[in-house]
Amino acid sequence: MSFEIVYTSSQQGLHAGSRGFCTVAATIGIPRQLMERLESLSGYQHQHPTGSKLNPVNFCCQSVRIQEETFVVLSRVADAGADFSGRSNKIAHHLALSLDEVRLTNCSPTLLLSDPDFWFTKWARSPEWLPANRLPKPVSSGGIPANAWKTAFGDAGWSAVVARSVENDFEPVFAIVPDGCNVIGMVHEALQHLSTRIQWRVSFSTYFTRSSGGDCHWRFLRDGMAEATAVRNRPVGIVIDVNSRLSGVDQKRSNQPSLNVDSIDESEDDSNEQPEGQEGFDRRPVTRSQMRRREAGARSRQSRLAAKNPRERRSEREIPQGRHTPTPKAKKLETWWIVTGLFVVIAVIALVVWLIWLK
Give the other-Cβ count within 10 Å of 78's Cβ: 19
SS (H, E, C) 195-253: CHHHHCCCCEECCCCCCCCCCCCEEEEECCCHHHHHHHHCCCCEEEEHHHHHHCCCCHH
Residue 249 CA from chain centroid, whole number? 28
Q: What is the pLDDT along the chain (359 residues), one digit of tens a residue?
A: 899 999 999 999 999 989 999 999 999 999 999 999 999 999 999 999 998 999 999 999 999 999 889 999 999 999 999 998 899 999 999 999 999 999 999 999 999 999 999 999 999 999 999 999 899 999 987 778 778 999 999 899 999 999 999 988 899 999 999 988 999 999 999 999 999 999 999 999 999 998 887 789 999 999 989 999 999 999 889 999 988 754 333 445 444 444 444 444 444 443 344 434 444 444 444 555 656 666 666 666 555 555 544 444 444 444 344 444 556 666 677 788 888 888 888 988 888 888 888 76
Q: How far apart are CA 148 and CA 157, in angstroms?
A: 11
Between the alpha carbon of residue 132 and those of residues 2, 7, 40, 188, the distances in Å are: 7, 18, 22, 28
- The predicted pLDDT at position 40 comes to 94
Which residues have C-beta within 8 Å of that of residue 256, sequence separation ≥ 6? 160, 161, 164
pLDDT the model gives residue 300: 63
Task: Look up the pTM and report it.
Answer: 0.71
Dihedrals phi, psi of 176, to nearest 5 degrees = -95, 115
Cα separation, 303 vs 305, whole angstroms: 5
Contacts of 59 (CB under 8 A, 6+ apart): 74, 75, 76, 110, 113, 183, 184, 187, 204, 205, 206, 207
Cα 273 to Cα 329: distance, rounded to the nearest angstrom: 55
Residue 204: the pLDDT is 97
How far is Cα 198 from Cα 187, in angstroms, rounded to an integer?
A: 14
- Say if residues 41 and 90 touch (Cβ distance below 8 Å): no
Q: What is the largest CA-CA distance in the chain?
A: 121
